[in-house]
Chains A and B, each alone.
Chain A
Amino acid sequence: MSIVDRLSDACLRGAAGRWPDADGMLREWRAELAFLGRDRSLRGARRRIGFAASLALSAPDSPVRYWPRRAGAITQRATGHLALAAAVTMVVPSVALAIAFALPGIPRPIAGVLGEVLVVAAMVWIGARSVRSAPAPSASPWRFAIATVVPIALAMVVALFLLGLPPQPRYSVMDGGFAEATGTGSMIAGHGAIAWLMVGLWAVVLTPAVALAARCRHVLARVGWLVAGSAVGLEVATVIAAYVPVAGSPVLGDAVRAFPASLVPFGAENLPLGAATYVCFSLLLCAAFLVPAVVRYAPDEAARRAATARFAADVDAPRPVPVAGPGVRVVAMVAGALGILVWAGLAAQRPALVQGDAWTTSMPADVSAAAMVLVLVALVPLLAGRGPVAPGVLTVGATLGVVAALVSGHGWHGPAVVVGMAVVVALAVAAAWAMTPRMAGPSTSEASGRRALVLAAVTAPLAVVTDALAGSMAPHGTLAGAYAVAVGLATVAVANVLAARRIPAPMVGAALWATMLAVFLYAVPYAHVHRWYAVAPDLAPQLVAAVAVACFARWNGRWRTRPVLVMAAVLVLASFASMPIRDVTESVLLTPDNSLITAVWTHSFVVPPQNLVLILAGLAVAASAMSRPRPDTDGALAPVDTPEPRPLPQG
């Protein structure tokens, strides 16, 4: 059996696996392939490969087993879980810091551990929900989530103690680890050998690669493993690159340098790790909740098909967020108002609060982020029942971020600032309240997407202005947690877009993998502190958005010029908006002492507001794509509108 025959047969097997009558289809295709196999020339080989590859990359005529329907439904549901997990990671650190602040007698590591316990408990709960809502729900989701989250969480805490690192709840490696743990554990249920490859701290970078491998193994036999292996290779290359000197940049790899303040000495290889884990967190979180449900093995075929059909129905007819009861709405209003007051109050008093050690200094920013989350969470039940919730909530979130950046950048404080910020937020909430019903209705998917795109276009110039007015400083009020929400949700949106279209799984995996690659390109230059590569960090979310644009551009055979132009404008504006941040980074990074490390560290915590803009664009694409009727594989004919005959000119 030649390589071509093996490859062709692997393609056929992969394709047949997605059809309801897998055995019958495989038998039929093999018969045709055998006929083609009589021609042993190069042309014959090309025809055999073409025959098999076309089937492997096509969608079966099955609404149940076709994976994008499952993925679309899962991403739709996972969005809530993802947002919840991101919110937890934003809120819990502030709780721990508040404990340390309010009870100075308690050792701060203990406060940090308390925070971590909260994170673990929350992640277990979220993980259990995620596992339960997977197409092949586990019989014991709680036990499953506990078994996957707790051991790795404990291992990380112990490792940090052994390394002498302060167990700050904000430490991103841990957050990413929790997320990864949930996904890893889920995969262990069905793909033990694959999952065990991922276990460990470094494995947090492998989740998307393994997801891709799990899909590709049906198509190209062992190629999927090569893809997963390439992730390891990329990681090794990242570390090696950290030791390669680049002309004109400080060389960190020739010696271990002491990290300033309380952190332990570290090598240059830790920089890419730290930066990558921080930025990868959201992507991993996303992958952790998406991957297991998509690739999980289910021994009971009938149950899996029934569950998948139910999910597919959700994709075709998304259920609106149910209306909340009056009690919930009252609580939400009170909580939201409280969040606004805390958020505005902290921003107004910021100059007085940011004195002291690192913990005390970071407390206002963390509590401020938690207050923002509180406002956004409270907005959900208030908007529920009026229409799509996400655009309104995210618009308010973007407004909060922009206002915080302005106030922080100018150092404004005092009662007038509190009133002003509260008024701005109240106006944003009112706008969301008024906007949401206009996005509701049976045929509003495209219209709502268009309006959300307009919102993004409006917010993008705000981001530019904010950066300019803020004195070229990154907004302090927008923390990495916000970045997690932004990039994570954008990734979910893109996954939705890709899943809603009939795009083969390997291409989706490649798109997500390309995003990961961009993130790593971001990580490497921070070891070198090379100014050219410093452009990379802002490219990762923009790459995600670009993929969304590319997928959205041609839908069902029709080009959609206007939305694409709007999104392109958003991307251009976002690129300009990110420039001042890089200027500041460069000027600090060129300092020849350890302060450059501090700059890198600080830079990892902030998020350019344009990412919040990109999220809106991504969600707009997703909202528009998700409820659109699915095109047939072969491209349906556009309906022919017969115009009324116009009167012919006389003479």
Chain B
Amino acid sequence: MGNDVRMTASVIAVLSAFLADPNDERYGLDLMKDTGLASGTLYPILARLERAGWVGAAWEDIDPAVEGRPGRRYYRMTPDGVVSARHELAAIHQRLSRVAGLSGRVSEA
């Protein structure tokens, strides 16, 4: 698994959506709705996360003729991905907290 996921605001939003329930399977439109990201932003991020091994993907096993729609592709976080994502988000949270604390001290002064 690679650790080359660059943490951007959009990536953080996607990871947060996944981590709300790490065992849940999500599809593209679902994530777009949760994160507010456009499709052109979301899918490159999903591809990046998948390449890094943080997210796995699988096709929905349905009969399109019966369901009346084509099968979707579902994404779910891998166990390693959950650990890595939580670690990265915690680190970012810590950094932002430090900056916020500094600015608060300066404004109080």
Contact = CB atoms under 8 A, between A and B. Distances in A.
Interface in A11-26: 15, 19, 24-25
B95 A640 contact: yes
Contacts of A583: none
Contacts of B1: none
Interface residues of A, number: 37
B26 to A, nearest CB: 12
A587 interface: no
B9 interface: yes
Interface in B51-67: 51
A55 B39 CA distance: 6
Nearest to A645: B102
Interface in B32-79: 37-41, 43-45, 47-48, 51, 69-73
B106 interface: yes
A33 to B, nearest CB: 9
A57 interface: yes
Contacts of B40: 15, 54-58, 633
Interface in B73-109: 73, 95-96, 98-99, 102, 105-106, 109
A254 interface: no
Contacts of B39: 29, 32, 50-52, 54-55, 58
B69 A34 contact: yes
Contacts of B109: 648-649
A532 interface: no
Interface string B1-45: 000001111110000000000000001110000000111110111
Contact of B6 (A19, A29, A636): A636
A31 B44 contact: no
A41 to B, nearest CB: 17
Contact of B72 (A25, A28, A632, A645): A28
A639 B41 CA distance: 21
Given A31-B72, A34-B69, A58-B40, A640 B99 contact: yes
A635 interface: yes
A637 B95 contact: no
B102 A643 contact: yes
Contacts, number: 92
- Greatest chain B CB density within 10 A among A29, A31, A58 is at A31
A132 interface: no
Nearest to B71: A31
Contacts of A640: 95-96, 99
Given A57-B40, A60-B44, A649-B109, A634 B10 contact: yes
A129 interface: no
Contact of A32 (B7, B27, B102): B27
Interface in A60-96: 60-61
Contacts of B72: 28, 31-32, 35
A646 B31 CA distance: 42
B51 A642 contact: no
Interface in A31-49: 31-32, 34-36
A36 B51 CA distance: 27
Nearest to A58: B40
- Greatest chain A CB density within 10 A among B43, B72, B105 is at B43
Contacts of A28: 28, 72-73
B6 A36 contact: no
B41 A54 contact: yes
Given A32-B28, A640-B96, A640-B99, A635 B69 contact: no
B41 A32 contact: no
A12 to B, nearest CB: 10
Given A32-B39, A632-B6, A640-B95, 13 more contacts: A27-B70, A50-B39, A55-B40, A55-B43, A58-B38, A58-B39, A58-B40, A633-B41, A634-B8, A635-B9, A637-B8, A642-B98, A642-B102
6 contacts: A29-B28, A29-B39, A61-B51, A632-B8, A633-B44, A642-B95
* 6 nearest A-B residue pairs (beta carbon): A58-B40, A54-B40, A634-B10, A61-B47, A61-B44, A54-B38
